[in-house]
Amino acid sequence: MEYPETKEKLNELVINLLHMHMIVRRHHWYMRGSQFLKFHPYLDDLMDELDDQIDGLAERLITIDGSPVATLREVVQLNKIPGEKGSWDFTNTQRLEKIISGYRYLDKLYEEALEASDKEGDYSTNDILTGFHTDLEKRLWMLTAELGQAPDIDA
């Protein structure tokens, strides 16, 4: 199967979802303080959801004769979501803000991948992307609502 742009966008998503998973993991490990008992298990849910998306997109990429990125070196070199060393110095609100920022970037990548798969006529991939994108937008709504903000999602 062809779909060169779709394959490229799927790999971009896999790379950045893997990095986002690590970012959430880091905040999960370094979290302390007010609302710890609430946020710590919530971040487990985020990681589970990210893992499902990573696996689903990588498997779809293989299905359309692509090759998902599968090394830490590639993820480190190619991801676009800013990362930083683990630190105890962030409030839980700051941690959520950093996670929201990464999710906003993923939202943009999903939109680009949807456009590519639609343009190339890969409607099965488009369907998978639509479901994951919808899930991500719901998480953005929930995360921003926790901070008393609107989701600010371009629909």
Domain ranges for the chain, please list them.
4-146
- Note whether 77 and 14 are within 8 A (CB): no
Pick one of 3.90.25.10, 3.40.30.10, 3.40.50.1820, 1.20.1260.10 as the CATH number of 4-146: 1.20.1260.10
Q: What is the pLDDT of residue 155?
A: 60
- What pLDDT was estimated at residue 148? 94
Mean pLDDT of each 10-residue bin along the chain, 155 residues long: 94 97 96 92 97 98 96 92 92 95 97 98 98 97 94 77
Residue-level pLDDT at 115: 98
Q: How much is the pTM?
A: 0.95
- Residue 106: what pLDDT? 98
Q: Supply the pLDDT for residue 83.
A: 86
Q: SS3 string of the chain?
A: CCCHHHHHHHHHHHHHHHHHHHHHHHHHHCCCCCCHHHHHHHHHHHHHHHHHHHHHHHHHHHHCCCCCCCCHHHHHHHCCCCCCCCCCCCCHHHHHHHHHHHHHHHHHHHHHHHHHHHHCCCHHHHHHHHHHHHHHHHHHHHHHHHCCCCCCCCC
Tell me what pLDDT residue 141 has: 96
